[in-house]
Structure 1
Amino acid sequence: MQLRTKITSVFIVLTSLFLTGIFILVYYISKEYTESEFYLRLSQRATIAAQAYLEADELNIDIYDDIRIRHLQTLPNETEVIYPVDAALKKPLVELDNTLPESFFRKIFTKEYAELKQGEYYYTGLLYHDNEGDFIVVLSARDLYGVGKLDNLRNTLIIAFFVSIVFIFILGRYYAKQALSPISKIINEVNSIRADNLSFRLETTNGRDELTDMSRTFNNMLDRLQISFDLQSNFINNASHELRNPLTAILGQTEIALNKERSAANYHAILKNIDLEASRLDFLVNGLLKLAKTDFDSKGLVIDVIRADELVLDIKKNLDMSIPFNQIILDFEDLPENEEAITLLGSESLLNVALSNILENACKFSKNSKVILKILSDADHIMFTVTDEGVGIPEDELKNIYEPFFRASNVRGIEGFGFGLPLAYRVIKMHSGEIRVLSQIDKGTIVKIKLPNKNTYNS
């Protein structure tokens, strides 16, 4: 079922229920008022009848008939019956009409007035006190005029109901179409989007309605998709280029070696060049594998309990072997006494790779100048701050530092592939952490890492 039809159907059902309730209420109130008015007329005629028949000294029969004919219209099938009774004993002196229920006469004795409807007839009874005794006056009639009015009202309401439903159906379908037309437009625009036109965006207005929010949300999704496609495309292009260079060098050196007989020294030099390019290729492939590994769902990680200070000491030990002349200084002065505050949950191998890459970059781009690694903590987080005195990163290029293979314009002459920071960024995000980089040209760089500690997971 189309959404337009569903909305129209629901609107018609709800409106039908509402109109039915309103019309029933109108009919019921009208019926109550009509019956109440007719009972009032009956009681007035019963009073006049009692006065005419029982107070002959004040009002005779001829005068009563004259009043009824002149001032009170004769009611259809009107009859009056007067019964002498003993009001004190609540007992009739003659036999009462046995077609009427006992409760009707009992109510007359109790409240001196009663009303009753049997079939099409309305009955009014009253207890009349006269100097000659007590009497019950029962007057009955049919309310043909009132019934006719109610029948006419009922028919009018039924016709009005069905006319309203038809009108509401037409109007509801029209407005449902108008209300959903922006959605139809959005659907058509979205269906036209392909991989080759991801730059296309849906039209948005300054309004705050749900359709505008949906268009903006979809545009934001397109922005993320376009960025992902661009990054993927750049990654493939850069990876292909970086892989091609050492492979071309290895193939070229191999071709030279096989071209003709050479001396042992020449073979040694060629093999040395091949070994250098193979090592470069091995480093590049390992970097790509590590980068790809961070794309897996964190559910696949082996979670370890890690102390931040021990992790840093282990990294420093490894870097002392790989970069013997490094000047990395570990600042543990502000470490808390509670070891829970510096304990975190995560993949020790990945966090080791992330922090190692950041420290290696700090050493490399500062030419082994002083690098300070400081650890801080609060109730829920552990903070690592790496400060160097290197070449810095141009301000307008900071936004690109997390893209694989990106290298700042002022470090193109320094060996590297642009894996370190993107890899560290992904590892930290996998651990629900944050990373910020502050840098100034020729003044150095500060990298701030914030990771949740063990207390965060326990709370």
Structure 2
Amino acid sequence: MSLFLSVIFILIYFVSKGDTESEFYLRLSKRATIAAQAYLDANELNIDIYNDIRIRHLMTLPNEKEFIYPVDTERKLVLGKFDKSLPARFYENIFNEEYAELKIDDYYYVGLLYYDKEGDFIVVLSATDLYGSGKLDNLRNTLLVAFVISILFIFILGRIYATQALSPISKINNEVNSIRAENLSFRLGTEYGKGELGKLAKTFNNMLDRLQISFDLQSNFINNASHELRNPLTAILGQTEIALNKERRIEEYRSILKNIEFEASRLDYLVNGLLKLAKTDFDSKGIVIEPIRLDELILDIKQTIDASIPNNKIEFDFEELPTSEDAITLLGSESLLKVAIGNIIENACKFSDNKKVSIKLFSDNDFIFLTVKDKGVGIPESELKNIYDPFFRATNVRGIEGFGFGLPLAYRIIKMHSGEIRVFSQIDKGTLVKIKLPNKNTTQNL
């Protein structure tokens, strides 16, 4: 702002200075014309009258001097003695333009070419502009005072405005800095309106919502994991203590060992699930990426499920498969995708009590689509938002064996492969899982 004011005030000063000089040159030129007429066109009486009028009415200019030189216009020469202290360019301009202006220090010079019946003459009139200089000095001092006052006024007004403008930001900053892990439920106020500060506060609140959800999920995960791990360990320790408490028959030892084996198997399954879940937290680093035909992968999964659930009723619909192999081929980790899709298909069999499970595979130019539909117990609509949380199990399937790993693990693996998964379900009508994965060509162009 100070720079802007400086430019404006300097511009005002130099424009005023130019106008003052132009005005003074005009006065000098008029006086030079009058002087030439008085001296060259009249007798001695006229000269005396002119001097009297100039002194009484026109007022003699400060340090005013008049010079009239006869000249030869054809050869552009000044005849006789003339003031050689003035630059030759000044006289050249008079001959060429019939008028010239010059300023040396505080003196202003005006020269004009005057034609008379007695010959041609150059009239030079000089003076100093004390009045104009005084006006410019006053203007300069006024502008300096106005500049200082303006800067002080702008500084004070700017401080007041900045304090008012930055006060909400400082308040937001203090409120955000006061948030800790123990008060993540705190939210910024809504008094910031709908402007930029309001958007900033809303953004912070949204971020806090995500952080609180993450903390709650982590807390629930730890609590659930601790609970699930403690149950088989407690059972194993309890059975071992019973076995060592006294001498028992071989049959009793066998029974205890079978119980221990069962709980150890549950513990092994749980630990493996936790390890797989943890592995999916590390993007795709260290994972072997290879081309995978999804139809072949699904058939391999079917063979695995046939061994674990021999009475399954899985049906395939491959009628819309494309003729191009690349259209159903994707780049990814075969082992991880087998886990993800296998969990989804196994859940469909398990929660439908081995009723019909329909699997459809098709594709377009960019993506591969897989749908898994069952006629099982379904998921309550109010609980669909929690299905990707580890250890979460719907309220209507608590009696069915499982830990709540399958869908969260599948969700993370599919996300790692730049895919999408959507689940639609109705109580006692079944569940539909839709999976969308980029094919080989699309992945290479990402």
- TM exceeding 0.5: yes
The CA deviation at 1:232 is: 0.8
1:65 Cα deviation after fit: 2.2
Q: Does residue 258 of the first structure (1) align with residue 244 of the second (2)?
A: yes
Residue of structure 2 equivalent to 1:9: none
- Identity across the alignment (%): 75
TM-score in terms of structure 1 length: 0.93
- Give distance in 2, aligned partners of 1:197 and 1:340: 52
The amino acid of 2:15's aligned partner reads I
Q: Which residue of 1 aligns with 2:136?
A: 150
Higher mean displacement: 335-344 or 226-235: 335-344
Counting only pairs closer than 5 Å after superposition, residues 221-370 of structure 1 correspond to structure 2 as 221-370=207-356
Structure 1: tracts of 5 or more residues without a match: 1-14
Cα distance in 1 between the residues matched to 2:36 and 2:442: 93
Does structure 2 retain, via aligned residues, the 8 Å contact 1:52–1:59?
no
1: CA distance, partners of 2:306 / 2:298: 12
**Retained in 1: the 8 A contact 2:107–2:126?**
yes
Corresponding position of 1:451: 437
- CA distance in structure 1 between the partners assigned to 2:364 and 2:47 by the alignment: 107
1:128 is matched with 114
Structure 1 range deviating more: 39-48 or 264-273: 264-273
Q: Write the distance in 1 (CA, Å) between the matches of 2:396 and 2:7.
A: 79
User: Structure 2 residue aligned with 1:219, among 193, 205, 208?
Assistant: 205
Q: Residues 75 and 141 of structure 1 are in contact (CA less than 8 Å); yes or no, is this contact kept in structure 2?
A: yes
Q: 1:433 is aligned with what amino acid?
A: G
Match of 2:399 in 1: 413
Q: Secondary structure at the match of 2:190?
A: coil
Q: CA deviation at 1:336?
A: 1.4
| CA drift at 1:449 | 0.9
Q: CA deviation at 1:357?
A: 0.5
Provide the residue aligned with 1:5 in structure 2. none
Tell me what 1:75 maps to: 61
Gaps of 5+ in 2: none
Q: Contact 2:192–2:201 (CA<8 Å) still a contact in 1?
A: no
Cα-to-partner distance string for 1:359-389 (whole Å, 9 max, x where unaligned): 0000001111111111122222111111111
Structure 2 residue aligned with 1:392: 378
Aligned length: 445
Shift of 1:189: 1.0
RMSD over equivalenced CA pairs, Å: 1.6
Q: Work out whether residues 51 and 59 of structure 1, in 8 Å CA contact, stay in contact via their aligned partners in 2.
A: no
8 Å CA contact 1:16, 1:165 repeated in 2:
yes
TM-score, normalised by the number of residues in structure 2: 0.96
Q: Shift of residue 58 of structure 1?
A: 11
Shift of 1:162: 2.3
| Paired residue type of 2:374 | D
Q: Does the aligned pair in 1 maintain the 2:337–2:414 contact within 8 Å?
A: yes
Shift of 1:457: 2.9
Q: Is the alpha carbon distance of 1:370 and 1:83 closer, same or farther for their aligned partners in structure 2, counting shifts above 3 Å?
A: same
Structure 1: 4+ residue segments shifted above 6 A? none
**Residue 367 (structure 2) pairs with residue 381 (structure 1):** yes
Q: How far off its partner does 1:326 sit?
A: 1.3
1:39 aligns with 2:38: no
What is the distance in 2 between the residues matched to 1:457 and 1:287? 28
Q: Distance in 1 between matches of 2:116 and 2:85?
A: 26
Asked whether the equivalents of residues 86 and 93 of structure 1 are also in contact (C-alpha less than 8 Å), the reply is yes
Match of 2:160 in 1: 174
Question: How big is each residue's C-alpha offset from its partner over 1:40-60, in whole Å with a ceiling of 9 and x where there is no partner?
Answer: 000010010011011106981
- Per-residue displacement from partner, 1:331-380 (whole Å, max 9, x unpaired)? 22111122222221222211111101000000001111111111122222
Give deviations 1:78-130, integer Å, cap 9, x for gaps: 01100111223322222321011111111111111100001110000011111
In the alignment, the residues of structure 1 paired with residue 286 and residue 205 of structure 2 have an alpha-carbon distance, to the nearest angstrom, of 32
Other structure's SS at 2:214 match: helix
2:352–2:377: 8 Å Cα contact kept in structure 1? yes
